[in-house]
Amino acid sequence: MPASRRHHRTLAVLVNCLGVLAAVPALPPAAPRAAAAPAQPAPPPVVAAVPARPVAAATPIPTGVPAVPPAVPTTGPAPVRPSMPPVSVAVGAAGTPAPGYRIEVRNAGTAPVETMVRQELPSGSRATAVTGGGQRTGPIGATAGEVTWRLWLPARSTTTLHTALAVSGPDRAVSAPTCVYGTDGTRPYDCATATWVGAATAPTAQVAATPAWRRPPVLLAVLAALLVVTGGALWWAARRRRRGAPAPTGVARSGAGPTAPLSTAGPGGGTAGGPGVGGPADRGTVYPRPALPAPASRRRRPPVWLTVGVAAAVLAGVVGAAAWTATQRVAAMDTTKQPTSGAWVGSTVSGGLGVPLRETAFEFTVYRMSCGAGVVPAAPGGGRPCLATIGVRNVTSEQQTWHGQLQRAYLPSGNWVAADEDATRVANLGRDVFAEPVAAGRRVLLPLVFTVHGAEPPRQLELRSGVFSAGVRVNVD
């Protein structure tokens, strides 16, 4: 064989070997037998074998292997939540004859912020004076009237607003909660509340207690005690009188009597007093007759009329006290209260908008309640969304969780709906507020959405921390 042909054959073998080595890393791991298969002969031209080394370095990744190296995470970055601007609000009640409030909105940040301020007006009231360009609105879309401001807060500034209200009817304590929202009017930055108390309502808080001698249970108890004491005194006096009378006793007499006297034998063998040797002068000794035993005295018992009277008086007192207690408990029941399930710990606390209400673990404050279009996007299944701005404070020493199905809105018909968790997540910019526990001592402010069917808005909200908590009830109409 010529030398040139031997060189060509040797070069072809080397090229084939390089092709096999380049193809081994590219084989799929699920087919181990492919490595043992004979390699296909490479094309004879030498030019095709020159790029064999670069091909081995840039081998394509087979199907089934991720295109991203394992060290690189396959998921995208978590969405960045918009930060809340450092805007706060403080509300104070004015010392005026009519209900009035002083609202301070503060921007502690280094950038200006555009906000919307909403003050809820209590039921049966209207705004008579508003400063700062506020607008009065009626109960259209909301359960009560409100005053709104659109403010441009410069950096590190404080804006003061004033409102005055007129309340129909007698003077009463009036609470007007105020919240600062973003430009959309749904995401709260901060909320505060204050309660105005008039001069006429202050003394009514001090209700004089009923005197003890006018309470029916006390009177019944005193009557029963008097009857018992009187009956016992009469029985004791009768018994003492019987003990003071002398008991009859029997004494034997000597000589003739209704019974024959004892006879004694004289010295002559006759009986004393009879014809015998001794004669009348020697009649012998007459022994006394033994006394008869005194009859045993029978133990006297109290009269029947006394026993029956005392028992009847005690029974009447017990029955009267039980009847009065049951009547008071029935009168204290709230017939308009809706039934609750699992309210086993504590008692239900009721209040209105802007009033902090505390239960076993949380302190709830409802600042605002509004229904209708534009509040949040409508639910896919239909219905009208109602948005409630709620403050939740954990009053325990450990973190607490709560659930959306336990938060309810009661309609005028008596039916209730639970919190719409999907709509609530949308109102909170994608954050699931029920999945995050509330830390000990922390206060969270969030919108809660209820989807109702019908034109009537909810009348009450029932909020609770757990199944076994009595919860709180907030009147929002």
More confident residue, 82 or 398: 398
- Cβ atoms of 87 and 106 within 8 Å: the answer is yes
Q: Are residues 38 and 105 in the same domain?
A: no
Q: Examine residue 322 and state whether it is found in any structural domain, yes or no.
A: no
Handedness of CA 371, 377, 379, 380 (dihedral sign): positive
Quick one: pLDDT at residue 112? 93
The rounded percent of the chain whose pLDDT value lies above 70 is 60
Per-residue pLDDT tens digits for 151-194: 999 999 999 999 998 887 667 788 889 999 988 777 889 999 99
Token pair in block for residue 43: 């094309």
**pLDDT exceeds 70 at position 467:** yes
Per-residue pLDDT tens digits for 29-44: 444 444 444 445 444 4
Q: Are residues 97 and 158 in the same domain?
A: yes
Q: Examine residue 374 and state whether it is found in any structural domain, yes or no.
A: yes
Which pLDDT band holds residue 51 (cuts at 50, 70, 90)? very low
Quick one: pLDDT at residue 110? 92
**pLDDT exceeds 70 at position 298:** no
The whole-number average pLDDT for the span 296-315 is 71
**pLDDT exceeds 50 at position 335:** no
Per-residue pLDDT tens digits for 260-283: 444 444 444 444 444 444 455 556
Query: In which order are the strands placed within the sheet that holds 443-452?
Result: 357-358, 362-371, 384-394, 443-452
Structural domain boundaries enclosing 363: 349-475
Q: Examine residue 71 and state whether it is found in any structural domain, yes or no.
A: no
Quick one: pLDDT at residue 67? 42
- Cβ atoms of 366 and 188 within 8 Å: the answer is no
Final residue in a domain of this structure, among 57, 75, 100 = 57
Q: Examine residue 292 and state whether it is found in any structural domain, yes or no.
A: no
* Nearest residue to 194 via CA among 212, 176, 167: 176
Quick one: pLDDT at residue 247? 55
Q: Are residues 129 and 188 in the same domain?
A: yes
- Split into its structural domains, the chain has a count of 3
Quick one: pLDDT at residue 37? 43
Final residue in a domain of this structure, among 159, 181, 198 = 198
The whole-number average pLDDT for the span 81-86 is 71
Supply the pTM of this predicted model. Answer: 0.55
**pLDDT exceeds 50 at position 371:** yes
Which residues does residue 43 pair with via DSSP β-bridges, in sequence order?
none
Token pair in block for residue 262: 């004892």
Q: Examine residue 341 and state whether it is found in any structural domain, yes or no.
A: no
Which pLDDT band holds residue 113 (cuts at 50, 70, 90)? very high
Per-residue pLDDT tens digits for 423-447: 999 888 888 999 989 999 999 999 9
Q: Examine residue 335 and state whether it is found in any structural domain, yes or no.
A: no
Quick one: pLDDT at residue 157? 93
Final residue in a domain of this structure, among 141, 173, 198 = 198
Distance CA 27, CA 61 (A): 9
Per-residue pLDDT tens digits for 207-265: 445 566 666 777 777 777 777 778 777 777 777 777 766 655 544 444 444 444 444 44
Quick one: pLDDT at residue 3? 52
**pLDDT exceeds 50 at position 10:** yes
Q: Are residues 50 and 142 in the same domain?
A: no
The whole-number average pLDDT for the span 320-342 is 60
Phi, psi (rounded to 5 degrees) for 423: -65, -35
Q: Are residues 52 and 146 in the same domain?
A: no
Cα–Cα separations (whole angstroms), residue 318 to 214, 224, 276, 321, 324: 18, 9, 85, 5, 10
Q: Examine residue 379 and state whether it is found in any structural domain, yes or no.
A: yes
Distance CA 98, CA 95 (A): 8
Quick one: pLDDT at residue 19? 72
Quick one: pLDDT at residue 34? 40
CATH of the domain at 374: 2.60.40.1240
